[in-house]
A and B are shown apart, each in its own frame.
Chain A
């Protein structure tokens, strides 16, 4: 761990259940990110009109953007049910990524305010959820027979690789997001450490910090896009017949 003096607000054995541990910082940040996304989405799509103005245009641009991602990977007829999933993923991950770039909050020695996506547990949860969803829709849309046949095509020898692929997909999808965001936050924390050493340190750290925050914004956007894109790619592998 980089910040040795920063601990996480962890509570263990909740309700006396030995495996149920919570990182309260994660719980807080998940709630905050969800709330922001929810309020923003509802605020942006209130007062809908046939002739869109201002915010509605922006929301429709987001819809069009995610629609474009889905259209790149599968045809629109099968893909349109995934539009809300894609929209929620891209907005939630983007907001989560940016939460940690704007500021960090430490209370006492506990790190409370950060990106929820800078925690591997949470990104892996998201990616596992996505992979489970792809399998679920694979069965639902193509039927169990076609779904299971996919595992042994073109030859039965592929079966172990196909099964391993599901887990590697989960890991790469989750860890890519986590790694990018976590690395960004580590570098930011180092720069803050430099800035707090004194006047010279502050002057020296100011410029690279601004640059790195700008870059983190960029990374946050890119990673949200990549996560959504890959979700749709995996989804299309499961729900389309032609490949």
Chain B
């Protein structure tokens, strides 16, 4: 059977305990250990460590910002409430101020109207009195005029002459 074994075949030997092999194995393994640690596993582990720290930091900062956001939202809500209250107060103030102003305006308008009415009444009274006065004056002069007209008509030439004479006489006497 062994005579059939070809070039590419599977087999194994136990081998003796050779010092050279031991030294080679030891040397190569330690060399390999050094090189893979330096060039492969070392950088890889550093990277993993770095990522671990990065993730931890990110989680921490996320937590922090979440807390901050919560605080900010609470603050915002409080502020909103304040603003609402303030706005309500403002509206109420404005309403009451408007009401008061309205009352004031009405009041002052009424007063003014009263004054105007009073002044007008006084004027009317005044005018009335003046008119009456004027009328009385007119009546007097008119009555004199009428009387003189009437007198004029009834006096004759004879009388007139007598009158003129009398007047002249009177004037002469007075001198």
Chain A positions within 8 Å of B, measured between CB atoms, are 1-6, 8, 10, 14, 19-23, 26-27, 30-31, 34, 37-38, 41-42, 44-45, 48-50, 56, 59-60, 63, 83-85, 87-88, 91-92, 100, 103-107, 111, 114-116, 118-122, 124-126, 129, 182, 185-186, 188-189, 191-194, 196-197
The CA of A1 and the CA of B28, in the complex, are separated in Å by 27
The CA of A19 and the CA of B21, in the complex, are separated in Å by 11
Is B150 in the interface zone, CB < 8 Å from A?
no
- Between B12, B33, B43, the greatest number of chain A beta carbons within 10 A of the residue's beta carbon is seen for B12
Instruction: Count B interface residues, CB 8 Å.
Output: 45
Contact partner of B44 (CB less than 8 A), chosen from A4, A6, A45, A111, is: A45
Q: Which residues of B contact A124 (CB under 8 A)?
A: 17
Asked if B29 and A50 sit within 8 Å, CB to CB, the answer is: no
Contact partner of B29 (CB less than 8 A), chosen from A34, A42, A185, A196, is: A34
Nearest chain A CB to B88 CB, angstrom units: 54
Q: Which residues of B contact A125 (CB under 8 A)?
A: 21-22, 25-26
Q: Which residues of A contact B25 (CB under 8 A)?
A: 26, 30, 116, 121-122, 125-126
Between A and B, how many residue pairs show CB distances below 8 Å?
191
Asked if A185 and B36 sit within 8 Å, CB to CB, the answer is: no
Interface hits, B113-157 → A, CB 8 Å: none
Q: A27-B24, A63-B48 are in contact. Are A104 and B32 (CB under 8 A)?
A: no
Is B15 in the interface zone, CB < 8 Å from A?
yes
Asked if A38 and B35 sit within 8 Å, CB to CB, the answer is: yes
Is B1 in the interface zone, CB < 8 Å from A?
yes
Nearest chain A CB to B46 CB, angstrom units: 8
Nearest chain B CB to A217 CB, angstrom units: 14
Q: A5-B2, A34-B31, A106-B5 are in contact. Are A121 and B44 (CB under 8 A)?
A: no
Q: Which residues of B contact A191 (CB under 8 A)?
A: 10
Nearest chain B CB to A192 CB, angstrom units: 4
Asked if A42 and B36 sit within 8 Å, CB to CB, the answer is: yes
Contact partner of B32 (CB less than 8 A), chosen from A92, A106, A118, A119, is: A92
Asked if B36 and A38 sit within 8 Å, CB to CB, the answer is: yes
Q: Which residues of A contact B29 (CB under 8 A)?
A: 34, 88, 92, 126, 129
Contact partner of A27 (CB less than 8 A), chosen from B19, B21, B26, is: B21
At the interface, is chain A mostly helix, strand, loop or mixed?
A: helix
Binary flags per residue of B3-30, CB closer than 8 Å to A gives 1, else 0 = 1111111111111111111101110110
Q: Which residues of B contact A26 (CB under 8 A)?
A: 15, 18, 21, 24-25
Contact partner of A192 (CB less than 8 A), chosen from B5, B41, B47, is: B5
- Known: A6-B5, A48-B47; 10 extra A-B contacts, CB below 8 A, are A3-B2, A45-B39, A60-B48, A88-B33, A100-B10, A104-B9, A121-B16, A182-B14, A185-B10, A186-B12
Is B40 in the interface zone, CB < 8 Å from A?
yes
Nearest chain A CB to B95 CB, angstrom units: 63
The CA of A191 and the CA of B50, in the complex, are separated in Å by 51
Q: Which residues of B contact A2 (CB under 8 A)?
A: 11-12
Asked if B22 and A121 sit within 8 Å, CB to CB, the answer is: yes
- List 9 A–B pairs whose Cβ atoms lie within 8 Å, in order of A's numbering: A23-B20, A34-B28, A42-B40, A45-B41, A104-B8, A104-B9, A120-B15, A192-B10, A196-B4
